[in-house]
Amino acid sequence: MRTTRKISDNIYYLGANDRRIALFENLFPLNNGISYNSYFIDDEKTAVTDTVDRFVSDSFFENLAQLLNGRPLDYLIVHHMEPDHAANIGRLIEMYPDMQVVCSLKANQMIKQFFGADLGDRAIIVQDGDSLSLGKHKLHFVTAPMVHWPEVIMSWEESTGILFSADAFGAFGALDGRIFNDEILIDESWWSEARRYYANIVGKYGVQVQAVLKKADALDVKMIAPLHGPVWRSNVADFIAKYDLWSRYQPEEKGVLIAYASMYGNTEAAANALALALADRGVDKIRLRDVSVTDVSELISLAWKYSNIVIAAPTYNGNMHPKMEHFVMDMKHLNLQNRGVSIIENGSWGPAVIRKASEILESMKNMRILEQKISIKSALHDLEPIEKMADEIAADLKN
């Protein structure tokens, strides 16, 4: 059964959803599945952009056969080689022996690595400035190295202004028939999942995203067709603005993420006291999260959103509580910058968190460790240090 939709005259969406998947990349929890997007251009020449994950291959091949309606497939455009999109390249190469594969030099190498297939003269290697005419449609290629793999390219279709953006501008979440951004509610919970996707998958590569945004700025982008999530056919500038902010590591809002680890509730009590003290001072954007029960990808998303972070944790094996260490190291690995950070440690006999967290934060770019630090011995009995920390954070938010 054909399950496609037109995104413009003669360009069709033939993506597929996986709603059973629990972990994207076997790493990031999904609560509403994910879509793998592919697009078909029906012109004098036929072309399909990317494929889908192996778990949803059947619908892709059925849709493709129906869209081709007996015609040959002339081109496969490979924007990205990660197997959630590239899984079916080997099968397509075999099924359509006259099909040419349009990709970067690195993608051509990866096709050999993944499928053992040497494309030879079936490969059309493209780089910046190259284009491919399909008849009425013409694709212009834009390289996007390290957004978020080295072989990535995007393509911009001249007659429609569609930017096929690879993983960029993607989002977690399956699509339920409504494939366009203006058909779904783009509210805070939607942005929260889009930010979680960006920060965790692409976040490390802000410099490279900035480079691609500059290239895209020279194009008349009317629609964005990513590899995951909805097709953006309206308010395109809103998403581009978010990408600009996120990739410059600038917070979206002045607000505080209080991330705490607590084994018996004593560090949690301090984190709670700080949240209350901040609220007393009129701070309205406070997110208090227990790192032991919050997936680190969610913590990263909140760290990307807010200007200030509080780390509150006990010592464990002479280091930070391991769940907190995971969060702090993840921020470092993802290159997060430009945040104000306050630290609360709890150590009954060997406090270590202020020292250990500071070492990591000082090795990151533009992470400001705020002056007020709190060292608890087992349990907090005096609210004065909490009040001082709240004063400092409230003042910092006003700067």
Between CA 87 and CA 119 the distance in angstroms is 16
Candidate residues 52, 77, 78, 85; the one interacting with ligand FEO per rule CB under 6 A: 85
DSSP string, 194-215: HHHHIIIIIGGGHHHHHHHHHH
Of the candidates 213, 209, 164, 171, the residue with the CA atom closest to the CA atom of residue 191: 171
DSSP 319-364: EE-HHHHHHHHHHHHTT--SEEEEEEEE-SS---HHHHHHHHHHTS
Q: Are 72 and 266 in contact (CB under 8 A)?
A: no
**Piece in contact with ligand FEO (CB under 6 A), picked from 5-13, 41-49, 80-88, 342-350:** 80-88
Cβ 82 to ligand FEO, closest distance in Å? 4
| 325 touching ligand FEO, by CB under 6 A | no
- 36 is written with which tokens? 């793998």
**Total interface residues for ligand FEO by CB under 6 A:** 8
Residue among 78, 147, 171, 227 that touches ligand FEO (CB under 6 A) = 227
Q: Does residue 84 touch ligand FEO according to CB under 6 A? A: yes
Binding to ligand FEO by residue 228, rule CB under 6 A?
yes
> Length of the chain, please?
399
Q: Which of residues 157-186 bind ligand FEO (CB under 6 A)?
A: 167
Residues 112-151, one symbol each (x = binds ligand FEO by CB under 6 A, - = not), give: ------------------------------------x---
Residue 91 tokens, joined: 């099968």
Class of residue 61 by CB neighbours under 10 A (exposed 0-12, middle 13-18, buried 19+): middle
What's the token pair of residue 322? Answer: 């391991």
In the complex with ligand FEO, the residue whose CB is nearer, 36 or 260, is 36
Among residues 42 and 82, whose Cβ is nearest to ligand FEO? 82
Smaller CB separation from ligand FEO, 144 or 257: 144
Which residue of the chain is nearest ligand FEO when measured via CB? Answer: 82
Residues that bind ligand FEO (CB under 6 A): 80, 82, 84-85, 148, 167, 227-228
